[in-house]
Amino acid sequence: MVMGSNPMSALTSTKPTPIPTHEQDDHDSPSSTALLSFNTDSSSSSSSSSPSPSSNKTLFVSLILITSIALSTSFAFAFLFFTSSSSCSSSSLPPLTPSLVPRPLAKLKRPIVLLLSSDGFRFGYQFKTSTPNIARLIANGTEAETGLIPVFPSLTFPNHYSIATGLYPAYHGIINNHFLDPLSGEAFYMGSHDPKWWLGEPLWETVVNNGLKAATYFWPGSEVKKGPWTCPVGFCRHYNGSVPFEERVDAVLSYFDLPSDEIPDFMTLYFEDPDHQGHKVGADDPEITDAVARIDSMIGRLIKGLEQRGVFEDVSVIMVGDHGMVGTCDKKLIFLDDLAPWIEIPKDWVLTHTPVLAIRPPSGYDPADVVRKMNEGLSSGKVDNGKNLKVYLKQDLPSRLHYAASDRIPPIIGLIEEGFKVEQKKTKRQECGGSHGYDNAVFSMRTIFIGHGPRFARGRKIPSFENVQIYNLVTSILNIKGAPNNGSTTFAESVLLSGA
């Protein structure tokens, strides 16, 4: 896909790849087998003689007594169970089994979705400290039990825009946080707002296309004026990392103070933490614990504000992260200069070193030959940590990564093992920190998904899924027509309660 091309033509020329839903047939599940075997063959008995009539009478009486006792015990347990269940039903605890009936709106006139992102919130962070507010959303909502799977590369801008569009980076165009146009040589960076970079149709544009209102607070791509989306003043905040989290939450809450017809139907809210801390200290530092506690307090502030307005149970709150985090240290390094005996990789060939190695050789060099020689050196045992880097032609990458169908993606991509880094040459620098961007199959790259609201069952756990599915979840809740995307058309049906 050439940069600056029409996003819709790109989608029609390449058929989106649906992701299977979590609901699959159980035809392949093994049949149950008996744990105990009973031999009823009389020939195996210890005695071959027949029992006497008196023995039969005694045995018969014993069986009647045992049966009577068992029945009495069963009735007693049944009585205790049902009386206990009725007494618990009036408590504040969520039901043990999710309700299959959507909750009707009590105050709002129509569905409203608030999509909230906590950058770098690795799955499992919610257990680092007490997170009562996040726990409340989980207990009364639907959670991806083992986390949300990011798209590859597991970086901030590609993933936030995949959540917003339902497209893999190869189709929405933001293939990295930084990259070059292969034709013009122009550079994309995280402050680039020219619509030629941003393909596909993000949710805020979809919402406006359907005659509804949207408001965005710091979401990558939301400042781009594209299609019917003009980034309206007061409803589209330009990114400013110095704005306190409390101010962001209060601004979103203020939308609910507007007249009913003016409340945005779709809203986004973004926090930089705990990604900000993770890059400095890794995933296991007390500073991460503090950051997670702060995010939880912001969720509490949001819940309290919605409750004060009487709309908490009406609003569909979807809390996600964009990726996880893993600790890195400079003892886990791979140096491209160490490949010199096999092939020289000049610095100007390399677009990004870590955590995705991206190489575009100049004309006159065969990318396949470069890949062959690099892998020969890396697997030789003579390059430090060489076994922790595998280089591919992009079309030969595992298909599950969906990282080939764009000219913006360089022809050579290196997959780096979790926690390792690639650098050009050796230095004396020694530092530890955290990183992300690795293969999205790596568990440490997973983040969170929690859905709370009228269409999300209480206390429900669902299997992990890729974040390209979220677009269709939002359009289904809002009951609007979405744009073509890589998500499954049936995924929302498998996750959401049926519409009222």
Q: What is the DSSP string of 114-147?
A: EEEEETT--TTGGGSS--HHHHHHHHTSEEETT-
The residues assigned a catalytic role are: 156
- Residue with more model confidence, 53 or 139: 139
> Which percentage of the chain shows pLDDT scores above 70?
80
Taking the alpha carbons of 352, 355, 356, 361 in that order, is the dihedral positive or negative? positive
Q: What is the mean pLDDT of residues 80-84?
A: 38
Q: H/E element holding 334?
A: strand 333-335
Q: What is the pTM of this model?
A: 0.81
Q: What is the mean pLDDT of residues 382-392?
A: 97
Residue 293: its pLDDT value, please? 97
pLDDT in tens, 169-208: 999 999 999 999 999 999 999 999 999 999 999 999 999 9
Burial tier of 407 (Cβ tally within 10 Å: 0-12, 13-18, 19+): middle
Which is nearest to 495 in space by CA: 473, 467, 480? Answer: 473
pLDDT in tens, 416-436: 999 999 999 988 777 789 999
Q: H/E element holding 368?
A: helix 367-378
Residue 98: its pLDDT value, please? 53
Residue 391: its pLDDT value, please? 98
pLDDT above 80: residue 239: yes
Which residue shows structure tokens 């009228």?
Answer: 454
pLDDT in tens, 283-326: 989 999 999 999 999 999 999 999 999 999 999 999 999 999 99
CA triplet 158, 162, 168: central angle to 5 degrees? 85
- Residue with more model confidence, 8 or 153: 153
Q: What is the rounded CA–CA span in Å between residue 421 and residue 361?
A: 21
Burial tier of 239 (Cβ tally within 10 Å: 0-12, 13-18, 19+): middle
108: left (phi over 0), alpha (psi -120 to 50) or beta: beta
